[in-house]
Amino acid sequence: MQHLISRIKSLAAEAAADTVALRQHLHQHPELSFEETQTAAFVSGQLRQLGLSPQPMATTGVVALIEGRNPGARTVALRADMDALPILEANEVPYKSQNPGVMHACGHDVHTSSLLGTARILTQLRDEFEGTVKLIFQPGEEKLPGGASLMIQEGVLQNPAPASVLGQHVFPHLPAGKIGLRAGRYMASTDELYLTVRGKGGHGAMPEQNLDPVLVAAHIIVAAQQLVSRRANPKIPSVLSFGKVIANGATNVIPNEVYIEGTFRTLHEGWREEAHGHLRRLVEGLADAMGAECDLEIRRGYPYLENEPQLTARTRAAAEEYLGAENVVELDQWMAAEDFAYYSQTADACFYRLGTRSADGRNSSSVHTPTFDIDAQALETGPGLMAWLALRELAAGSPA
Predicted confidence (pLDDT) per residue in 31-81, tens digit: 999 999 999 999 999 999 999 999 999 889 999 999 999 999 999 999 999
* 109-165: pLDDT as tens digits: 999 999 999 999 999 999 999 999 999 999 999 999 999 999 999 999 999 999 999
Q: Is the pLDDT of residue 399 over 50?
A: no
pLDDT of amino acid 397? 66
Query: Is 191-300 in CATH node 3.30.70.360?
Result: yes
The reply to whether 191-300 shares the fold of 2-186+304-395 is: no
Which residues are paired to 200 by β-bridges?
A: 211
Candidates 3.30.420.10, 3.40.50.1460, 2.40.10.10, 3.40.630.10; CATH matching 2-186+304-395 = 3.40.630.10
Inter-axis angle of helices 2-28 and 37-49, nearest 10: 140
Q: Point out the residues that are catalytic.
A: 83, 141
How far, in Å, CA of 186 to CA of 353, rounded? 11
Per cent of the chain over pLDDT 70 is: 99
CB 389 within 8 A of CB 66: no
* 218-235: pLDDT as tens digits: 999 999 999 999 999 999
Q: Where are the domains of the chain?
A: 2-186+304-395, 191-300
Q: Is the pLDDT of residue 382 over 60?
A: yes
Q: Is the pLDDT of residue 400 over 90?
A: no
* 305-352: pLDDT as tens digits: 999 999 999 999 999 999 999 999 999 999 999 999 999 999 999 999
How far, in Å, CA of 191 to CA of 153, rounded? 20
- Name the average pLDDT for the chain: 96
